[in-house]
Amino acid sequence: MTAGGPFEPDLQPGDRNDAVLHLQTRLHELGYFAGSLDGHFGDDTGLAVHQLLEHAGLAADGPVDPQVWAALAAAEQATGRSSPVTPDDQHWHWDGDSWQPNADAPAGAAAASSAEAQVDASGQWIWDGDQWQPVVG
């Protein structure tokens, strides 16, 4: 992974992983992505990246690389949005339906209080005491 952190690696069409889901979520928050938040870098994700880069005045082709992540962060800053909270230190993974703790996660990684729900910064996910669940409007 070559960019700003574990959730900002180089990505390309066809990739399927948590970093793509993170990218999709951030693009969605900015109004560029209208597809399914599924962690698959398909045509909808490519179009959203293309639109972000065009809006930023950058070359709109190639993989998602540090330049794309920087343009995304700049767009978030310009709109007053911050990137959504992501599970730290790779202790979590997206199983296609919900965030799940990794088997090798430290004991406290999944130990959010079951007595009170926690909502991530994007407002799209809520911790129900056992797992992250999408917020249903």
Q: Does residue 65 have a pLDDT over 50? A: yes
Domain coordinates in residue numbering, the chain = 18-79
CA angle 76, 125, 14 (to 5 degrees): 70
Burial grade of 8 (CB within 10 A; 0-12, 13-18, 19 or more): buried
Q: Considering the domain 18-79, what is its CATH architecture?
A: Orthogonal Bundle (1.10)
pLDDT of residue 1: 34
pLDDT of residue 60: 77
Q: What share of the chain is helix, strand, coil (3-state, %, to 5)?
A: 30, 15, 55
pLDDT digits (tens, 9 = 90+) for 51-63: 999 999 988 778 9
Is residue 50 left, alpha or beta, with left meaning phi > 0 and alpha meaning psi from -120 to 50?
Answer: alpha
The pTM of the whole model exceeds 0.75: no
Q: Does residue 108 have a pLDDT over 50? A: no
> How far is residue 44 from each of residues 27, 65, 80, 116, measured CA to CA in Å?
11, 18, 24, 36
